[in-house]
Amino acid sequence: MHRLRRSGAASAAGDLPLALECLLDAGRHLDHLGWRNPAVFPWRGRAALLAARLGEVGTARDLAETELSLATSWGAPAALGRALRVRAELAEGPERLRLLRSASAVLADSEDGAEIDRVTVALEHCPDAVPRPGAAGGGSVPPRPVPRPVLAPRPAAGAPAASAEAPLGAAVAARAGSSRSTGTGAGRLTAGEQEAVALVRAGASNQQIAQQLRVSRRAVEKRLTSAYRKLGIGGRGDLGPG
């Protein structure tokens, strides 16, 4: 958390090399601990965009590809949509448009209004100007209209909000603080998510939860990831006792 906060502070101060160095250092520690869930710690996407701004294109693409692979494995819509959008930022032409449209489709099942807005804006600035057969005089057909996603409700005035583009350390802290103080989002949990969260609060490990609920460990991880996202927290350590 200290390194994530240092990265955010350095980025705000305009020191992008230091911001990237701190972010990569934090990422190495998170990976060592086995905390690779991009829905909870999306550091690779931010590092990829920082590396691209610094001209480190190869590093940026490697980070974005890894983030996309992890997000695809976990399956959380907000994380996958964000990873697709970051990868699109590093692409051009038809590939960029394809990735952004994929992100828009994935985010249709997400409540991350801020990320939906980012993808929408990116699509509006990414016209499809590729010539198509049948264009009069061999020119380009006007761009296909890109459907604007339905935007999720914004947080109420004064409610804490964590942006994917905000300094990552502050975003995680904001999620944790919001959950402890208000418990918002608990009413939206599915029955399976509520069961998993209750067992976490009782001190059960993921394997024990899987045995108790008679589901796979992967299913438990997905339920908890979704619950943490809805509750706006960084992980089981932020749940507190039931």
Q: What is the pLDDT of residue 241?
A: 58
Number of C-beta neighbours around residue 133 at 10 A: 6
| Domain co-membership, 135 together with 147 | yes
| Domain co-membership, 232 together with 148 | no
| Domain co-membership, 67 together with 101 | yes
- Residue 159 domain flag: no
| Domain co-membership, 56 together with 88 | yes
Q: What is the pLDDT of residue 203?
A: 80
**pLDDT mean values, one per 10 residues, the chain (242 residues):** 88 91 92 88 92 92 93 88 93 90 87 86 70 40 38 40 40 40 57 85 84 84 84 75 56
- Residue 98 domain flag: yes
Distance CA 163, CA 174 (A): 10
Q: For the domain that residue 203 is a member of, what is the CATH number?
A: 1.10.10.10
| Domain co-membership, 174 together with 232 | no
Helix (H, G, I), strand (E, B) or coil at 13: coil
Distance CA 169, CA 123 (A): 28
| Domain co-membership, 30 together with 50 | yes
Q: What is the pLDDT of residue 187?
A: 57
Q: What is the pLDDT of residue 99?
A: 92
Per the listing, tokens 């959008």 go with 85
Q: What is the pLDDT of residue 147?
A: 39
| Domain co-membership, 142 together with 196 | no
| Domain co-membership, 26 together with 143 | yes
Q: For the domain that residue 146 is a member of, what is the CATH number?
A: 1.25.40
| Domain co-membership, 25 together with 87 | yes
| Domain co-membership, 150 together with 216 | no
| Domain co-membership, 95 together with 140 | yes
* 217, 154 contact by CB (below 8 A): no
Q: What is the pLDDT of residue 142?
A: 37
Which tokens go with 198? 């209750």
| Domain co-membership, 11 together with 100 | yes
How many structural domains compose the chain?
A: 2
Q: What is the pLDDT of residue 231?
A: 83
Q: What is the pLDDT of residue 29?
A: 92
Q: Beta strands of 141-201 (E only): which ranges?
A: none
User: Minimal CA–CA distance to 173: which of 97, 237, 92, 111?
Assistant: 237
Which tokens go with 136? 């009069």
Distance CA 18, CA 148 (A): 37
2 CB burial (10 A radius; 0-12, 13-18, 19+): exposed
- Domain hosting residue 193, numbered range: 186-242
* 77, 225 contact by CB (below 8 A): no
Q: What is the pLDDT of residue 127?
A: 63
